[in-house]
Structure formats: C-alpha cells, structure tokens
Amino acid sequence: MNRARGQLRVYLGAAPGVGKTYAMLAEGHRRLARGTDVAVGLVEPHGRARTAELIEGLEVVPRRTVVYRGASFTELDVDAVIAREPKVVLIDELAHTNVPGSKNAKRWQDIEEILDAGIDVISTVNIQHLESLNDVVQQIAGVPQRETVPDEVVRRADQVELVDMTPEALRRRMAHGNVYAPEKIDAALSNYFRVGNLTALRELALLWVAEKVDDQLDRYRAEHGIAGAWEARERVVVALAGGPEGATLIRRAARIAARTKGADLLAVHVTRADGLAEADPASLVRQRALVESMGGTYHQVVGDDVPRALLDFTRGVNATQLVLGASRRGRFAQIFFRGVGVTTTAMSGSIDVHIITHAEAGKGVRHVRSRAALPGSRRLAGWAMALLGVPALIAVLIPLRGELTMPSELLLFLLMVVCVALVGGLWPAVTAAVAGFLLLNYYFTTPFTLFAISNPPNALTLSVFVLVAVMVSGVVDVAARRTREAARASTEAEVLSTLAGHVLRGEAALPSLLARLRETFALTSVTLLERRGAPGPDDQSDPEAWRIVATDPAGAAPCTCPGAADTDVVIDEHLVLAVQGRLLEASDRRVLEAFAAEAAVALRQDRLEEEAEQVGPLAEADKMRTALLAAVTHDLRIPLASARIAIDSLRNSEIEWSRTDRDELLATADESLVKLDRLVANLLDMSRLQAGALGLTLQPVALDEIITRSIDDLGPLRDRIESDVPPELPEVLADPSLTERILANVMSNAVRHSPAGQQVLLTASWYGDHAEIRVIDRGPGIPREAYDRVFMPFQRLEDRDDHDGVGLGLALSRGLAEVMGGTLVPEETPGGGLTMTLTLPLSSRART
C-alpha cells in the first residue's frame, strides 16, 4: 500500500551558528520522547560540542561513502533511510551539493525522494542559500554562495520555523568559541559576522518568513471563503484614474504606508470593459513609474462598475486602506451622480477609505474632444445633401401635395434626414431636420406658403418629426463615433502591444525605440532632447539650450530644439521628444506620449548601465580590498605570531636554552619570516600587476636552470618533487625571476594538495615556437567548472583553509605568465589529480 507523502519541516536561520541544527536535534528528542520513531539521516555538528551531545540517544543511519578523484567523502544514504523507514528523519543542510557520483546532485533532491516514500523530514537552511536572495546576500556580505536551494522547495514545506538570534548574541557565541574554531574567530567577526551584515541577513530572514506566513493566511482565507479584510499586515491601495491628480494621490498614499513599517503600496487603475476609456496612457505610464520608484506595485483591472471593481481588488489583496481622489465633477453633476468616492465609501465596510482633495477637485471632468468620426469628404457630402437634397425633395412633393397625406410626407423627410446623418453626421442631419420642419410648414400645412399652422395637430406632428429626426441623427452619429473610436483603440492597442514586445525582447535601446516611432507615424525624424541648464523663458527655440540625447539614425537631420519640431511631447522638466515630418493629430498624442515615456525609461536604463560599468571596476577593487583585508588579518597573523614567539623565547634571560633548542627556535623564526616575506612579495607583485607597473625583463634563458632553481626554492618540499626534464631543452624568452616564482607557486600548491607520500611529477617539452612545463599531482583535483575560479585572487577551492597563504599563488602565477606572453592552464590528470601547464614562447635563437 502506498504511503501518503511525508511532511517537511525546515528550520530557517539568518546565519551559521544561530542554532538551527541544535533546534532540529532538540525537536527530534521531543518526538522520540513522545514515542515517535526518529532517526538521524545526516547531521553536521561542525565541531560544536553541545550539538554533538544532542546526537547521542538518537539512532544514526550510516552514511554512504563516495570516492571522487581518489578521495573519500561521506554523503546521505537515501536508500538506507528509505529501507529503515522511520516516521521522522533528521537531515541537516538542505542546500548542500552532493559529491559527484551521488544519487542526486543536491541534498534537497534526496529529501524529495524520502518525502515521496512517506517519511517526514526535518531539515535546516540559512537564508543566504535561497536562490532568489543569492545576489542580495553577496552584495551585503561580499561572499558568493555556491550552494543554493530553489525558493519553491522551502515554500512548499509544511512548516518553516525561524531560528532567530540577535547579532550581538550571535557574536558573543562566536567569541566564546561555540561556532567556529578559535583560529577562525577573529577573521569571522571582522568580516562576515559584522553587526551590519548580521542585521541585514536577519531582516531578510524575517521578511521571507513573513511573506510565507502571508501566503498561508491568503490560502486559509480562500479555503474558508473569508472575504473581509484581516488587518494582519498593512496594505494601502491608491486608485488612479489617469488624471493630473494621480501624482498627488500616489505621494499621499506612500506617506500613509510609510507610517507603518513594512506596509505595502499598491496602485490600481480600472479600465472599462469596452476599452474606450478616456484615461491618458502616457499619464498612467508616468504614474506607474512614480509608484514603482516609491517601492509600490501597479495593477490594472477591468470593470464597468468602478466602485465595485476597486473594492473587489482591495479585498482580494487583503488591503486595509483605500486612497481615492476627491471628485472632479462639478456640483451640478454631483446632484445626479454621487461619484466614485461617495459610492465606494458607502460600500467599503471594514476598509478605511481616504478621500484626498487636490487641485483638480470640483473643476469638472475635462473630456478630450475626439475629432469628428467622419472624414471631411463625407461631411461635405452631408452638408450638400442637407442644403440641396431637402429643397429637391420639396420640389418633387409639391406636385403631389393633393395626393399625399401629412404622415407620408413626414416619413419621406425623416428618410432624408436619416440618409444625411449616415453620410454627413449629426449637424448636417439636424440642419436637414430643421429645414424640413420649416419647408413642410410652408408648403404642406394650411395656410400654404405661410409660416403658420391653422390645424393644431399638424403643429404637434411637425414638432415630433423634428424631435425624432434629431434623436435619430444623434444615435447614428454616436454609433459612427464609437465605431471610429473602437477602431482607433484597436490600432492604439496594436501599437502599444508592439511597443511592449519591443521592450520584452530587450530592444529597449533608444535608437531602436525611436526608429519604431518614426515608422509607426511615417515621420522623417524623431529626436530626444535634453535641456542643458535651468529652464528659461525663450529657450524653446534656442538650439544652444538643448542637446541631442538620442535620434533615429535612419531618419533625416535631427531636430535641435522643441520649437523646430512639428510636434513635441514634454516628458519632464528636462526631457522633450521632438518629431518632424507632419503635424500629428491630437488623438495620436496618446500613443506618442506612451512612446515618449518609454523613451525616458530607456534613457534612464542606458545611463544606469553606464554608471554600473563605471562603478564595476571600483566595486571589483573594493571587493579585492575586502578580500585582502580578510586574508591578511588571518594569514599574516600566523607567521608573525610564530616569529614573535620564537624571538621572545630567545630573548628570555630566565630560561637556559640548549643549542638544539636555540637552533630550532631560530629556524622557526626564519621559516616564519620567509613565509611573511613571500606573502608580502606576492601582495606587492599582484598590486603592481593589476596597476600595469610590474618590472619585466624578457631575455633568453635556459629552462633547465630555471626549473632547478625553482625546485631549490621550495625548501623542505623539494623532496616531494620528481623531475623528468630532458637535458636538451631549448631557451625560452622570459623573465628568469618571474618564471621561478611561477613554478615555485605551482609546485608548492601541487605538493600541498597531494596525498602524503605521493610525489609531484614535473615534466617539460617543446613544440613549434613554445615550450611547456607540466606540474602533475595525484590529489583530489578540481571540477572543470572551478578551473577559472582557482585563478581569482584570494580564492581557495571550496573555501578550504588548511594551508598557508592568502590565495594569491595561482592568481599571481597566471598573471605573471600572461605578462611574459605565456599561459597557465589547468587540466585533469588521467587517473585523478590536476595538471598545471605553463606555456612560454621560445627565444628567437631557439626557433632558428
């Protein structure tokens, strides 16, 4: 029988040492005391005694041994855990990357497999290992996290419990030796575990957990059909109509949200379902940018009932406050319609509604008058029908006056009015109706040929005729206008869709955007202008007051000032979009302003990218300085301390040292000072190398002599080197001292990573115009994806800290090789290990 999927519980921490593993083990003991079958799948105590003590009393599933590149590693044994089939299993470090050759690449994948087997899992993870926060944590702490877990894995967990600790308390734990080994405490406290770093990481963890709790609350309300707002978290919604008051409302809403720490700001615009709303899209684009600049989000919903749509959205996002602008309708209009604000307040229930006054309140809604729905030729035809067709109809009907009745004559004139409305629109049709009324009165009602009516029913008939004719003309004209507006809205939507696709495809470069605008409106040139200084009274036509920011390269000569443009759009106080080629209609400005707003965004993006490029080298230099300080504080301290202890011991007159002891202390001091000298030399050479100020003397040198001297420079490590160099090696063009430094660094690095008793092989050969020296070890090697990383300054593979040096050896060696025209390349040693190949050019004499 298949078991139900197990449940996942995750202990989340802001940093190492807050007590996640301890809390997990304590929970295991609590469940064991209640009679639950609990087993330990894998726990990493990291040398912490109190954590190791908690493992005692819990059954531990044996780990699986994985051999990789000649070294043995232990990993979680998924099959053994499933076969043991406990009720609950404790598995540490959810984000851990398994050793190559394991069943799964990541530990969270192992846990998914165990959950699918019906076993409950309790695990741990730090906030810096969440995939979405990886770059944020790197910016805060300056340390990249190579082991990450997808956020969705943690979000799907049945329970996420935050293990919280103040930065001060964590630093005290660190200082007491409860987290790291004593030799690592100083470096940790002065780098990753600074109070500022820990505070920022703690805030990230709290916010992430709060967001998950928010999701759980929304899910609970949805499952239980709870429509009312719960004020668990402050959310402020501001309604935007696209009018000029939008910026005022956004700023007021932002101030309301700022009164509560962590409050959300949401802006919403309600679009009519028919798509014919008169909101200015350019204004909405600017208001959206303003909302997002204040940390809010912009939303758009569709609905004909604006108050209900606003409240539905507000309740849907569980908002507590709604900000609306005071009605722009005049007092007379408010008598017949209460307005969105009043209606929304009456329907709001528990939601607080803020009605904000503004400069446009009570001034009336200014509708943009769209241009006539019909082209000029049809309007002229309509006027011609009205002025000529009505008299012509009279001339036809006068001979038939005795045979036709008044209703028949009225129907014929009504038909004429409808035809005029269809052809020429409202006003020609109204003119035809009035003319028909007068001519019918003059020729077809008694007394004839007089503007008088003797029969009262005829007066009523003619009046109804005029009213019906005008009403029909109005309906026909409105229908024509709506058809034209719908067609224009469809065209605008297509253009804006193209613009959106242009942005989504990453084509937001200004020249490309301006070229799209020129093609859309068949213009000759499109130019984005920026004001050089403060606004002046007569600078619109002064080319000296403006500079060209961007223009369409395929267009004609760019416009040099707004006054020279056929149409210009003011984006802000300093930016203007100027177009030439033809005068655009007022209705086209909506789309033109949308293009202008997007051009401003593209300009800001370009400038931000330029600033980022300029800041990049500075950031790299700062990162290197930070790494240098971290390395120096750790690695300089050891040789300095050793040398000082040895010298202080020798200077102590109270102790009689034997000759052997004195020689040993002197050797210790000498070895420490040699390490210190080598370390400082590497640091100086790296700084000179990066500054391009490294002294270089290229000359023909005998490669076998350089190899011999570099082996001698290794000191006691020289016995670990096996040289297999042919005696007839040609000369190379290199700097002798720098080449010795390269080989010494590479060989010492190979010896440190080789198994005890295993020799490092050094070979040399030449081919064509270059020689190759290979340093071959049989150590654990490095994965191919880490080849480039080992040559970065201050890097140690997998952050190993079991050797001296600041991680400059390989970085400096590659830099020195490249300065001399050579290369230093790693490759895998067949059978396991790493081979470093130094390539140098042959001298001109060796090539002949």
* Mean pLDDT lowest among 195-199, 360-364, 439-443, 473-477: 360-364
Q: Is the pLDDT of residue 805 over 50?
A: no
The answer to whether residues 324 and 361 touch, using CB atoms and an 8 Å cutoff, is: no
Q: Which has more confidence, 836 or 847?
A: 836
Query: What pLDDT is attached to residue 532?
Result: 85
Q: Is the pLDDT of residue 120 over 90?
A: yes
Let me know the angle formed at the C-alpha of 798 by 795 and 804, rounded to the nearest 5 degrees.
55
Sheet of strand 834-841: strand arrangement: 721-724, 760-767, 770-776, 834-841, 823-828
Determine the Cα–Cα distance for residues 475 and 134; give it in Å rounded to an integer.
62
> pLDDT band at 89, cuts 50/70/90?
very high
Beta bridge partners of 39: 59, 89
Q: Is the pLDDT of residue 160 over 80?
A: yes
Query: What pLDDT is attached to residue 224?
Result: 63
Query: What pLDDT is attached to residue 87?
Result: 95
Exposure b/e, 302-331, CB count within 10 A at least 16 = b: eeeebbebbbebbbebbbbbbbbbbbbbee
DSSP-derived letter for residue 518 is H
Determine the Cα–Cα distance for residues 353 and 759; give it in Å rounded to an integer.
79
Query: What pLDDT is attached to residue 34?
Result: 93
| Residue pLDDT, tens place only, 548-593 | 888 877 778 888 888 888 888 888 778 888 888 877 765 677 677 7
CA–CA distances in Å: residue 284 to residues 367, 585, 590: 16, 20, 11
Let me know the angle formed at the C-alpha of 521 by 518 and 527, rounded to the nearest 5 degrees.
35
Neighbours of 831 (CB within 10 A): 8
Determine the Cα–Cα distance for residues 681 and 684; give it in Å rounded to an integer.
5
Sheet of strand 159-163: strand arrangement: 59-60, 38-42, 88-91, 120-126, 8-13, 159-163
Which of 668, 530, 508 lies closest to 599 in space, CA to CA? 508
Here the tokens at position 182 are: 């004593």
* Mean pLDDT lowest among 223-227, 661-665, 709-713, 762-766: 223-227
Query: What pLDDT is attached to residue 671?
Result: 78
Q: Is the pLDDT of residue 640 over 80?
A: no
Q: Amino acid letter at 257?
A: A
> pLDDT band at 457, cuts 50/70/90?
confident
Determine the Cα–Cα distance for residues 340 and 311; give it in Å rounded to an integer.
11
Query: What pLDDT is attached to residue 773?
Result: 92
> pLDDT band at 163, cuts 50/70/90?
very high
Q: Which has more confidence, 365 or 337?
A: 337
> pLDDT band at 598, cuts 50/70/90?
confident
* Mean pLDDT lowest among 154-168, 595-609, 786-800: 786-800
Mean of the pLDDT values across residues 780-801?
63
Mean of the pLDDT values across residues 199-211?
85
Most confident option among 181-185, 216-220, 411-415, 473-477: 411-415
Q: Amino acid letter at 17?
A: G
Most confident option among 230-234, 615-619, 626-630: 615-619
Determine the Cα–Cα distance for residues 264 and 428; give it in Å rounded to an integer.
55
Mean of the pLDDT values across residues 105-133?
92
Determine the Cα–Cα distance for residues 447 and 453; give it in Å rounded to an integer.
7
Neighbours of 364 (CB within 10 A): 13
The answer to whether residues 200 and 137 touch, using CB atoms and an 8 Å cutoff, is: no
Determine the Cα–Cα distance for residues 20 and 14; give it in Å rounded to an integer.
10
Q: What rounded mean pLDDT belongs to the chain?
A: 79
> pLDDT band at 806, cuts 50/70/90?
very low
Element (H, E) at 551: strand 546-551
Query: What pLDDT is attached to residue 206?
Result: 86
Q: What are the residues whose beta carbons fall under 8 Å from the beta carbon of 685, sequence distance 6 or more?
A: 694, 741, 812, 816
Determine the Cα–Cα distance for residues 655 and 49; give it in Å rounded to an integer.
38
> pLDDT band at 803, cuts 50/70/90?
very low
Say what angle helices 167-175 and 182-190 make with each other, to 10 degrees. Answer: 150
Query: What pLDDT is attached to residue 837?
Result: 92
DSSP-derived letter for residue 62 is P
Q: Amino acid letter at 196?
A: G
Query: What pLDDT is attached to residue 282?
Result: 67
DSSP-derived letter for residue 386 is I
Here the tokens at position 420 are: 């005029």
Query: What pLDDT is attached to residue 78?
Result: 93
Here the tokens at position 641 are: 């301390």
* Mean pLDDT lowest among 143-157, 175-189, 408-422, 739-753: 175-189
Here the tokens at position 119 are: 């076993």
Q: Is the pLDDT of residue 69 over 80?
A: no
The answer to whether residues 266 and 297 touch, using CB atoms and an 8 Å cutoff, is: yes
Which residue is listed with tokens 């024509």? Answer: 480
Sheet of strand 575-580: strand arrangement: 546-551, 525-531, 575-580, 567-570
Classify the phi-psi angles of 289: left when phi > 0, otherwise alpha if psi is within -120 to 50, otherwise beta: alpha
Mean of the pLDDT values across residues 320-330?
80
Q: Is the pLDDT of residue 147 over 90?
A: no
Determine the Cα–Cα distance for residues 771 and 703; give it in Å rounded to an integer.
9
DSSP-derived letter for residue 545 is G
Most confident option among 234-248, 278-292, 678-692: 234-248
Q: Is the pLDDT of residue 712 over 70?
A: yes
The answer to whether residues 85 and 55 touch, using CB atoms and an 8 Å cutoff, is: no
Most confident option among 2-16, 318-332, 347-361: 2-16
Which of 448, 423, 479, 460 lies closest to 431 in space, CA to CA? 423
Mean of the pLDDT values across residues 455-469?
75
The answer to whether residues 819 and 694 touch, using CB atoms and an 8 Å cutoff, is: yes
Beta bridge partners of 721: 760
Most confident option among 30-34, 536-540, 732-736: 30-34
The answer to whether residues 160 and 123 touch, using CB atoms and an 8 Å cutoff, is: no
Strands 770-776 and 731-734: unpaired
Q: Is the pLDDT of residue 808 over 60?
A: no
Q: What is the CA radius of gyration of the chain?
A: 41
Query: What pLDDT is attached to residue 426?
Result: 79
Strands 321-325 and 297-302: unpaired
Q: What are the residues whose beta carbons fall under 8 Å from the beta carbon of 6, sequence distance 6 or more?
A: 114, 115, 116, 117, 118, 119, 120, 121
Q: Which long-range contacts (CB under 8 A, 24 or more apart) does 193-200 make?
A: 193/15, 195/167, 195/168, 195/171, 197/15, 197/140, 197/141, 198/14, 198/15, 198/167, 198/170, 198/171, 199/167, 200/140
Mean of the pLDDT values across residues 64-90?
89
Mean of the pLDDT values across residues 51-74?
86
Determine the Cα–Cα distance for residues 425 and 104; give it in Å rounded to an integer.
74
Q: Is the pLDDT of residue 630 over 60?
A: no
Query: What pLDDT is attached to residue 444?
Result: 78
The answer to whether residues 258 and 367 touch, using CB atoms and an 8 Å cutoff, is: no
What torsion do the CA atoms of 301, 307, 312, 313 make, to the nearest 10 degrees?
A: 40
Query: What pLDDT is attached to residue 525?
Result: 86
> pLDDT band at 218, cuts 50/70/90?
low
Which residue is listed with tokens 């995939």? Answer: 131
**pLDDT-above-90 percentage for the chain:** 13
